[in-house]
Amino acid sequence: MSDKREVFVSVDVETAGPIPGEFSLLSIGACSIYEPEKTFACELKPINGNFDANALEVSGLSLDELARTGLTPSNAMRAFSHWLLTLARRNETLVFVGFNAPFDWSFVNYYFHRFSGSNPFGFTALDIKALYMGATGCGWSDTRSSRIAEKLKPALAGTHDALRDALYQAEIFRLIRSELIDKS
């Protein structure tokens, strides 16, 4: 067991499509899981015009609007990295936490490496769906956020706003830990 303190960070993204590089990362929302008042949010300029209509419909974001108002990817990732460094000291480990973490982490990892050279999370990514499945023994189909919310009764709800969803995910994570893991 490591003596390094782990700093859990809930991260949610909205994108223009299913894979990084081909489609743009459009918004990032993040919060410290155990200090949820510590938040980060930004919207990014698209890297190209590719989009999946369903992705834009779900998020309500506009590529044209973000091209005018979003941060450049370099500035966005630099700001995100600086914020992350305020959460963890040099000898502490940042842990990326997401609901369907493989999707969100793939965009964040790609953008950190492409636009800032390195990812402050390294290769840490903890998936809330997998954590819930392991804690309850349920099937994968029971890891949908609506099913988890039925069981855990969070105060917040998912909205497809990256910051609000990061806060919701943080609450779900805390509930899984306190109600299902720490009690066993």
* CATH number of the domain that residue 78 is part of: 3.30.420.10
User: Is 16 inside any structural domain?
Assistant: yes
User: Is 1 inside any structural domain?
Assistant: no
Q: Point out the residues that are catalytic.
A: 160
Please give the residue range of the domain that contains residue 44.
6-181
Rounded to whole angstroms, the Cα distance separating 104 from 52 reads 16
DSSP letter assigned to residue 140: G
Tell me which H or E stretch contains 32.
strand 25-32
Rounded to whole angstroms, the Cα distance separating 183 from 26 reads 38
Per-residue pLDDT of 4-56, as tens digits, reads: 889 999 999 999 999 999 999 999 999 999 999 999 999 999 999 999 999 99
Rounded to whole angstroms, the Cα distance separating 42 from 29 reads 7
User: Is 65 inside any structural domain?
Assistant: yes
Q: Which two tokens stand for residue 91?
A: 């000898």
Per-residue pLDDT of 98-107, as tens digits, reads: 999 999 999 9
Structurally, the chain folds into a number of domains equal to: 1
For position 1, what pLDDT does the model report?
Answer: 54
User: Is 156 inside any structural domain?
Assistant: yes
Rounded to whole angstroms, the Cα distance separating 107 from 121 reads 13
pTM for this predicted structure: 0.95
